Amino acid sequence: MKLTRRHTLMMAFGSALAAVMPFRAFAAVEDNIAAFTGGAAVGSEGITLIAPEIAENGNTVPIEVNAPGAEAIIVFAAGNPTPSVATFNFGPMAASQSAATRIRLAGTQDVVAIARMPDGSFVQASQEVKVTIGGCGG
Amino acid sequence: MADNVTPRVRVPRDATAGEEITIKTLISHPMESGQRKDGDGNVIPRSIINRFTCTFNGETVIDVTLEPAISTNPYFEFQAIVPASGTFEFTWYDDDGDVYTDSKDITVG
């Protein structure tokens, strides 16, 4: 096949498209959030997400979520192959609606926490975590 | 499948009535995510703990759904109210059907 100007342009376009592909993962996280909230509007007050700005090792990134009065908190990692991370359901014996754990992050990305309040509303917090070494064994 | 799974839990021995205490739990488990490949390029099948619960005298403190994005040796830290003496029960549910449990007594003095 002769390499014409048109082919070169198309190839350039194709590689640009391939570079954009990873961002499709964000669409997956949108779907997951919609599944949790049922499409309801999401506020931003009353929830804190503590995560490091820079994580050297994506295999164990310490995070902490705190949403006073929440029924449940769900955590997503927007850039992971599977965005869901964990769901915390708080029972009557929980002293505060907070929890800390360690998660895996495939690369630099946003970590999102969404809390469901007893009145049916939702609040969200997110933070970007820069990851030096990814944690998915890729 | 998961060998040598050992739960470890830290709960204060005693508390005052109504006190808020912090509980830390750790369980040794590989939490194989199902994303990794072995030397021959075959996917290593997923094998994780998918649920963790903590109850105090039968009432739920916390009930966590775990996904493969939780690190090896899942660690949790959370707070509980202690209205009276009783027992904290901790349960981990493995993908392969195994259930690991631990319990700690606490005395209200």
- The complex's ipTM? 0.89
Instruction: Check B60 against A98: CB less than 8 A apart.
Output: no
CA distance to partner chain A, nearest, from residue B81 (Å)? 5
Alpha helix positions (H), chain B: none
Judge contact between A105 and A79, C-beta under 8 A: yes
Spell out the per-residue pLDDT of chain B, length 109, in tens: 567 889 999 999 999 998 999 999 999 999 988 888 888 989 999 999 999 999 999 999 999 999 999 999 999 999 999 999 999 999 999 999 999 999 999 999 8
Interval A3-15: pLDDT, tens: 677 766 666 666 6
Q: CA of A35: how far to CAs of A81, A85, A90, in Å?
A: 18, 14, 19
Can you read off the two tokens belonging to residue A11? 């190839």
Q: Which CATH superfamily is domain A3-131 in?
A: SoxY domain (2.60.40.2470)
CA distance to partner chain A, nearest, from residue B96 (Å)? 19
DSSP string of A8-20? HHHHHHHHHHHHH
Instruction: Check A101 against B69: CB less than 8 A apart.
Output: no
**Interface probe, candidates B27, B31, B33, B38, chain A, greatest A C-beta count within 10 A:** B33
CA distance to partner chain A, nearest, from residue B24 (Å)? 9
Break chain A into its structural domains and give their ranges: 3-131
Nearest CA in chain B to A96: B79
Nearest CA in chain B to A77: B69
